[in-house]
Amino acid sequence: MVRQPSVAAQNRPPLTRERIIEAALHIVDGQGLGRLTMRRLGDALQVEAMAIYHHMPRGKEELLDGLVSHVAVFPARPPAGEDWRRALREWATAYRARLTAHSGVLPLVVTRRNPAALSDTAASLREILRRAGLPEGAAADGAHALLGYVIGQTALELRGPSPGEPPTDWDARFTAGLELILTGLSSRARRP
Amino acid sequence: MVRQPSVAAQNRPPLTRERIIEAALHIVDGQGLGRLTMRRLGDALQVEAMAIYHHMPRGKEELLDGLVSHVAVFPARPPAGEDWRRALREWATAYRARLTAHSGVLPLVVTRRNPAALSDTAASLREILRRAGLPEGAAADGAHALLGYVIGQTALELRGPSPGEPPTDWDARFTAGLELILTGLSSRARRP
DNA sequence: ACCTGAACACCGTTCAAGT
DNA sequence: ACCTGAACACCGTTCAAGT
């Protein structure tokens, strides 16, 4: 038999950063963050684990940062008309849904020293508040308050139910807390 | 020479859950969560790593849960007089300081499915809001909004500065966001 | 009852080698 | 340029054995 070791390599799509991150997200979503290992990721991509390092020289650190960027970059769309509160509500609801859908990545979003991944999202919120009439500093503070609330509240929700307490309607609770912040923001806006 | 292998064992304090958790917290505070291993923890306690399992049958899982309880259980003190806002401000400031002092544990606080660790804290906030005149449901929602905000905002802060932006006054930003929520809560209280 | 030490089945990563 | 495979220095945990 003539050895043709490159057949398998030719019949599969080339390894790219994007394919690697997608495969990693699939593992985390399906099996949890703890089961994401370089060896398992290599298996999923039909490649030796070490091949990943060729596309991500910083190794697993770079992989986890990539997951955070992939999930957490989520800018808000500016309001079509004047209703900035509605635009913020829609963003908050959609962002929470995204974080919930990739709950295994949330620990990384909260934890990793990867500020760039959130600064685009924060900037989009700041701009909406600025146009609503808040002074520059108050708009920046408000943007981070919203971001911190959504991330923190979603993390609390995903921690699971407290055994002694009645089951919580987390949708309602999330909305109620969000309205607290929006009320506070309204009192500081030019167009409340 | 007569073998006396128990000399070292007799000259050291007995291993307890509390000593184990304190030693673990010391490692996490000093070297980071990533360097907390059972073997290193054993070294710090002058004991084989396997001895820890005798006090914590669930192993590292139980150890991490213990760290969360040790750091995150932090009930608010009720106001001496009528000023419930001040009581909440003091709690939020102190809780943020505690989380910042043990920043390596924050990922665990946010992440671990260990709801009991936060339910005492949430209950203390709920009680303050209830006495301030909020209806039962609104008090529970408000308590979780405060908790989610403090944890989320502190996590954002500890992620580090965004490279492009001017340096942030996180103290001022934290206070500003907190006041947004307090404003919202005041509009729903009997005694605003 | 409490602790030890060897062993097992994993990790992430380096490095020389292959094509 | 891209991938492989062996090797290294670690992990958490099981288990039989010691005192």
A179–B179: do the CB atoms touch at under 8 Å?
no
CATH 2.60.40.180 fits A75-188, yes or no: no
| B181 neighbourhood in chain A, CB within 8 Å | 145, 177, 180-181, 184
Q: What is the 3-state secondary structure (H, E, C) of B85-133?
A: HHHHHHHHHHHHHHHHHCHHHHHHHHHCCCCHHHHHHHHHHHHHHHHCC
Mutate one of A103, A171, A180 to test the B interface: name it (highest B CB count within 10 A): A180
Q: Which nucleotides of D are covered by protein (CB under 7 A)?
A: 2-6, 10-16, 19
DSSP-assigned letters across all residues of A79-134: PSSS-HHHHHHHHHHHHHHHHHHTGGGHHHHHHSS-THHHHHHHHHHHHHHHHTT-
B115–A159: do the CB atoms touch at under 8 Å?
yes
Is A172 at the interface with chain B, CB within 8 A?
A: yes
Q: Which nucleotides of C are covered by protein (CB under 7 A)?
A: 2-6, 10-16, 19
Shared fold status for A7-57 and A75-188: no
A148–B177: do the CB atoms touch at under 8 Å?
yes
Question: Could you read off the pLDDT of A54-102 as tens digits, one per residue?
Answer: 999 999 999 999 999 999 999 999 999 999 999 999 999 999 999 999 9
Task: Please tell me which of the candidates B141, B155, B176 has its beta carbon nearest to residue A177.
Answer: B141
Q: Which nucleotide is nearest to A57 (CA to C1')?
A: C13
pTM of the model: 0.92
Cβ neighbours of residue B83 under 8 Å, at least 6 residues apart? none
Could you give the CA distance from residue B156 to residue A141 in angstroms, rounded to a whole number?
12
Could you give the CA distance from residue B26 to residue B102 in angstroms, rounded to a whole number?
9
DSSP A77: P
CATH of domain A7-57: 1.10.10.60
DSSP A163: T
Q: What is the 3-state secondary structure (H, E, C) of chain B?
A: CCCCCCHHHHCCCCCCHHHHHHHHHHHHHHHCHHHCCHHHHHHHCCCCHHHHHHHCCCCHHHHHHHHHHHHHCCCCCCCCCCCHHHHHHHHHHHHHHHHHHCHHHHHHHHHCCCCHHHHHHHHHHHHHHHHCCCCHHHHHHHHHHHHHHHHHHHHHHHCCCCCCCCCCCHHHHHHHHHHHHHHHHHCCCCCC
pLDDT 10s digit of each residue in chain B, 192 long?
Answer: 323 334 444 567 789 999 999 999 999 999 999 999 999 999 999 999 999 999 999 999 999 999 999 999 999 999 999 999 999 999 999 999 999 999 999 999 988 887 788 999 999 999 999 999 999 999 999 999 999 999 999 999 998 777 667 788 999 999 999 999 999 999 998 755
Domain boundaries, chain A: 7-57, 75-188
What is residue A14's predicted lDDT score, i.e. its pLDDT?
A: 85
Q: Which nucleotide is nearest to A9 (CA to C1')?
A: D3
What is residue A67's predicted lDDT score, i.e. its pLDDT?
A: 97
User: How many Å from the CA of B15 to C1' of C2?
Assistant: 9
Which residue from B minimizes the CA distance to A187? B183
Mutate one of A159, A182, A185, A187 to test the B interface: name it (highest B CB count within 10 A): A159
